[in-house]
A and B are shown apart, each in its own frame.
Chain A
Amino acid sequence: MTDRGRENLSLTWKLGAIALGAFGFGFALVPLYRTLCAVTGYGDQAKLLERSAAILHPDVKRTVTVEFLADVASAGSWDFRPEVRRIEVHPGELYTAEFYAHNLTGHASIAQAVPNISPSEVAAYFHKTECFCFAPQHFALNEGRDMPVRFFVDPALPSHIEVITLAYTFYDEASRVTRR
């Protein structure tokens, strides 16, 4: 083997080792990423854990009233109302409320509920984990059914607030078409 051949081979192996090291480095990025997330608090679930801990430990000493309102955009074509008009809740506890809707349009239809919360400053403290308002609702002709909304009130709710109003307006296809 010539001198140059030997040099070439030795440099080749060194560069190959760099490539192999880089392959390992790709995998080393995994623990590195976890560490960085733990340090910066990103990707790390600490905040969410705090929030779920609050759900597990509701503030039972405090009671807030939640009122439910329901309204339809085109009167007469839907029967839409809450099953209960108001409930008393403890901040931090998870509740379910049912709304009833009945399709009176005379044909199968799709409707979308749009929520509104008042007083508006409460919006940041009122968390819906599941809601019929998250997606359009399909109704067969003359179909009526209950639809759930699951929610909890943040324990950090300002202390002067005692009543929260959750109002839904029900829009169906017809009102969408007229809006266009």
Chain B
Amino acid sequence: MAEPHAHAAAHDDHDHKPHGWRRWVFATNHKDIGTMYLVLSCTMFFIGGIAAECIRLELFRPGLQFFDPQFFNSLTTMHGLIMIFGAIMPAFVGLANWMVPMQVGAPDMALPRLNNFSFWILPFAFTLLIGSFFVPGGAPAGGWTMYPPLILQTGAAFPMLIFSVHLMGMSSILGAINVIVTIMNMRAPGMTLLRMPLFVWSWLITAYLLIAVMPVLAGAVTMLLTDHFFGTTFFTAAGGGDPVMFQHIFWFFGHPEVYIMILPAFGIISEIIPTFSRKPLFGYEAMVYAVASIAFLSFIVWAHHMFTVGMPLAAQLFFMLSTMLIAIPTGVKVFNWTATMWKGSLSFEPPMLFALAFLFLFSIGGFSGLMLAMVPADYQYQDTYFVFAHFHYVLVTGALFSIIAAVYYWLPKWTGHMYDMKLGTWHFWLSAIFVNVLFFPQHFLGLAGMPRRIPDYAVQFTDWNMVSSIGAFGFGLSQLLFPYLIIKCIRAGRAAGNRAWEGAHGLEWELPSPPPFHSWTTPPSDAVIARGAAH
């Protein structure tokens, strides 16, 4: 199995790559696959975004104007599934594909064909998922969390939903295995674990989370499938099952999943802030241990998503306290990022602007998370717009902003061109302002009692919903600048040079921009590695 690969690798060494569609369909090059992941993610981001804009359009005024409630519920469900599995996760995998081999001094990912396979599963998964809009009964409308018994009432879309989740899970697991093998086995000699950049560290830990919990989700949806078609009663009370058990199994996956979507973001921010502060990262080892402890804690906090289902007091206290414990390693990270900037010579290019916005706004999301961790308070906040505001602060201004920051950071490396800084800065300010107009009022709505996932609402919620919808339209439109800017940058621009940012450290900046098709075919010398690991 490895012989033909070794041959192919030797053959491709002269940098002549397959052309036309074959280059992409049969791609085994980590940079090409990374690009495909990022393009898919961007496409899914806009499809999920259209669903979000439709939701905000309906919620602009009380009453039902545009969509019937069933379709509205399909929109919220599909928005969640597409954004989580289609936009955020593939974007991080794409970044890992592009950056991890270059950052650890490896010529490619360890398993290039598996890499091709794990990418090409995804278009099929999303065709199935989005295709469910067009089957009798419409797209799934039971919420992205797929709680039974409601989700079992889905029409013809039900098996499409389950199989697309299976496919996405398979893709993530294979991708994660590839990342771990690459990091463990393919590092250049001298690139010790504690010399690795934090992006690589955070991805190593994320990949372990992925192979530990994605199969649990696969198991849970398989149980749904057999409950629906084969007469099992895992979640049907009439046959001795328990629908609450689904929530336990789902969130056993779901909480680590939350960190799968934020740990790589922590890695990205830990690369960008030192670069634009022109100082090494403060407390490198503490950052590594913080990521590891957050990952560990993620396994023992799942029930905080379901305090209201009925749980022994001892269990509620345990999950409340373990959840609050997460604030400590997260606080260490925020402190260290701030300390990195302390007395640094800061400059505010687009990646740094997005990283700073991440720091502020992710912290807001973290604080509302602490509020939600408190059992007595959570009983009031459960399933309101407060929860909604909380997780959009951590996922949009957290995960998404970090992805945008990463693209702005590494785009000159990928394309060899500097992009339009002015336009990037415009993109930042429009996004940062509108995202707060969009999500901040939702805190007020939630505290006042507006429930999630409802197409209509009581009239006293009208004003803040209008403000929120205006924010959503503004945020959505300003994102159109992003692909425009990227395409413009791919076509032309000032040459970026190897080290596109003067303060940047790390092996990727030792390579030319754009990097050759096969980079680090001869491993970097120890001196080069030491120069990159500036901490």
Contact = CB atoms under 8 A, between A and B. Distances in A.
Interface of A: 1-2, 4-9, 11-12, 15-16, 18-27, 29-30, 33, 37, 40-43
Most buried by A among B2, B220, B311: B2
Contacts of A29: 216, 245, 248-249, 252
A30 B234 contact: yes
- Prevailing SS type, chain B contact patch: helix
Most buried by B among A1, A4, A12: A12
Interface in B169-213: 173, 176-177, 180-181, 184-186, 211-213
A42 B311 contact: yes
Contacts of A8: 110-111, 181, 185-186
A23 B215 contact: yes
Nearest to B315: A40
Contacts of B234: 30
B219 A26 contact: yes
B121 interface: no
A23 B245 contact: no
B244 A43 contact: yes
B3 interface: yes
Contact of A26 (B1, B176, B218, B312): B218
A5 B3 CA distance: 9
Contacts of B114: 12
Nearest to A23: B215
Nearest to B234: A30
Given A15-B180, A18-B211, 6 more contacts: A6-B2, A9-B2, A21-B215, A22-B211, A26-B218, A29-B216
Nearest to B216: A26
Interface string B1-38: 11101100000000000000000000000000000000
A26 B111 contact: no
Contacts of A1: 1-3
A20 to B, nearest CB: 7
A14 B186 CA distance: 17
Contacts of A5: 2, 5-6
Interface residues of B, number: 39
A23 B244 contact: no
Interface of B: 1-3, 5-6, 110-111, 114, 173, 176-177, 180-181, 184-186, 211-220, 223, 234, 242, 244-245, 248-249, 252-253, 310-312, 315
B111 A25 contact: no
B220 A26 contact: yes
Nearest to B218: A23
A19 B211 contact: yes
29 contacts: A1-B1, A1-B2, A4-B186, A5-B6, A6-B2, A8-B110, A11-B185, A12-B177, A12-B181, A15-B181, A18-B211, A18-B212, A20-B215, A22-B213, A22-B215, A22-B216, A23-B218, A26-B218, A26-B252, A27-B223, A29-B216, A29-B248, A29-B249, A30-B223, A40-B315, A41-B312, A42-B310, A43-B242, A43-B244
A25 B216 contact: yes
Contact of B185 (A4, A19, A30): A4
Contacts of A43: 242, 244-245
A21 B252 CA distance: 15
A157 to B, nearest CB: 26
B499 to A, nearest CB: 30
A26 B212 contact: no
Contacts of A7: 185
8 residue pairs, one from A and one from B, having the closest CB atoms:
A26-B219, A23-B215, A22-B215, A5-B2, A26-B216, A15-B177, A19-B211, A8-B110
Most buried by A among B1, B215, B223, B249: B215
Most buried by A among B1, B242, B252: B242
Nearest to B3: A1
Contacts of B6: 2, 5
Given A12-B111, A29-B252, A23 B180 contact: no
Contacts of A12: 110-111, 114, 177, 181
Contacts of B211: 15, 18-19, 22
Contacts of A18: 211-212
Contacts of B245: 29-30, 33, 43
A40 B311 CA distance: 9
